[in-house]
Amino acid sequence: MVIERIAQQVQDKLKVEQKVFVDPATIMLIITLVSTIISAIQKCKSKPEEAVLVAQYPDPKEQRMLKKTIRKKLGWIKYWKEGDSYYEAVVATGKNLTAGDFDVAYGELRTMEFRA
């Protein structure tokens, strides 16, 4: 799955103390975070080409939305300690995504919605 691959890239870029110990809870949190972010981008930008521009060059409003999403998923304490690392890892990973990645991720999100 593309979403899991993106989440693994985010995990690799994290600069937190838990980087050495990769626990399943952290990767599940990152998968949920990536799914939420891609879903939000999909609601605003239906074409994968537009989504690539948002991922590579987020404007201040999109940056605030990303930070808010990370804060909601991590909780206040973990966000206060590690939120900047998560933000930097997500933004760095987003700069490497292609339109094909978003196209496949959009399809994966649709199938996930039908399963839920």
pLDDT single digits (tens) 4-57 = 888 888 888 876 555 545 677 888 888 889 999 988 888 888 788 888 988 889
pTM, to two decimals = 0.82
CA distance 100 to 60: 25
Domain count, the chain: 1
As given in the structure block, the two tokens for residue 95 are 């700069």
User: Among all chains, which residue has been given the structure tokens 């990645």?
Assistant: 101
**pLDDT (0 to 100) of residue 116:** 47
DSSP string, 35-80: HHHHHHHHHH--SHHHHHHHHHS--HHHHHHHHHHHHHHH-HHHHH
Domain extent, residue 29, equals 2-115
Q: How many CB atoms lie within 10 A of CB 3?
A: 19
